[in-house]
Amino acid sequence: MSDLSDLYREQILDHAHDPRHWGLLDPADLDHAEENPLCGDSLHLTLRWDDQTVIQAVGWEGHGCAISQASASMLGEKLIGMTLEQAGHLTHEEVLDLVGLSLSPNRMKCALLSLKVLFVGVQARNKAEGQA
């Protein structure tokens, strides 16, 4: 195993055991939850942003494997300071790069659950407000 793989594994374990931005925000501008029915991982994401839609705070809760929980923690750190539009353009590859390990297709779904919650939540919010 390479030193880089060891580093990423340590980072995943660190985020899984000491998640950043744990706990839901109230009030929140975005509040959405999803789960991965294949493995039972779940994630509830809340965001708060300013008048220019710059994300000021992230809060989340969930349960599941270390990869899904660590990915949510790492994505939360990445979202702070981004506009909602920038967050909406994040790619699967960017989130998988945060995880840093080669993953099987099933594990990719774990790592990408937080991005799915973000995207579906933003779409639902926009639809509720009559936006495209």
Average pLDDT, consecutive stretches of 10 residues, N- to C-terminus, the chain (132 residues): 61 74 95 89 96 97 89 94 94 89 81 95 87 64
Q: Which residues contact 43 (CB under 8 A, 6 or more apart)?
A: 33, 34, 35, 60, 61, 62, 64, 68, 72, 113, 114, 117
In a domain, 130, yes or no: no
Q: What is the pLDDT of residue 130?
A: 82
Q: Which residues of 25-56 are buried (b: 16+ CB within 10 A; e: fewer)?
A: beebbbbbbbbbeebebbbbbbbbbeeeeebe
CA angle 58, 61, 65 (to 5 degrees): 120
- Is 18 contained in some domain? yes
Q: How far apart are CA 60 and CA 40, in angstroms?
A: 17
Residue 63 lies in a domain: yes
* Torsion region of 49: left, alpha or beta (phi above 0 gives left; psi -120 to 50 gives alpha): beta
Residues ≥6 apart with Cβ < 8 Å to 97 = none
The answer as to whether 131 is a domain residue is no
**What integer pLDDT is reported at residue 43 of this predicted model?**
95
The enclosing domain of 32 has a CATH number of 3.90.1010.10
Q: What is the pLDDT of residue 9?
A: 72
Q: Which two tokens stand for residue 132?
A: 């495209």
Number of domains forming the structure of the chain: 1
Range of the domain at 54: 3-123
Phi and psi at 131, nearest 5°, equal -100, 160
Do the beta carbons of residue 72 and residue 19 sit within 8 Å?
Answer: yes
